[in-house]
Amino acid sequence: MAPKKSKRTVSSDDTSDSGPDDRNPPPKKSKQTEKKETKKSTSNEEEHSWVLERNRFVKVRDFKGKLYVDIREFYEKDGNLLPGKKGISLTMQQWNKLLDHVEDIKDSINKLG
């Protein structure tokens, strides 16, 4: 009888990213010149972007006529910065609700931290 292989468990703190697992990955874009600057998207609309750390960004995007706040980890492949599977896109309703809770969240952080 062959020995059982153990499965590797990935914790939520794991920062590696194997790449996008999205069902509908975004269309390929040309090389991005500067990560930290406001960039133009392929539809000539501005895409605002802020760096949280190394490869984590907050972006405001217009997708199919709706605005989203996207907090996502990116990875580099063939000189292109591509969105990874780790992240969340918030609708404006969700974003505003999060903002409504900011003070409560800060209070909890101060109590627990």
Alpha-carbon span 79 to 75, nearest angstrom: 10
Note the pLDDT tens digit of each residue in 56-98.
999 999 999 999 999 999 999 999 999 999 999 999 999 999 9
Domain range 39-112, its CATH number among 3.30.365.10, 2.30.31.10, 3.30.450.20, 3.40.50.300: 2.30.31.10
Domains in the chain: boundaries: 39-112
Alpha-carbon span 44 to 58, nearest angstrom: 19
Claim: this prediction has a pTM higher than 0.75: no
- pLDDT-derived band of residue 3, with 50, 70 and 90 as boundaries? low
Higher pLDDT, 65 or 45: 65
Strands (E) located in 56-102: 56-63, 66-77, 80-91
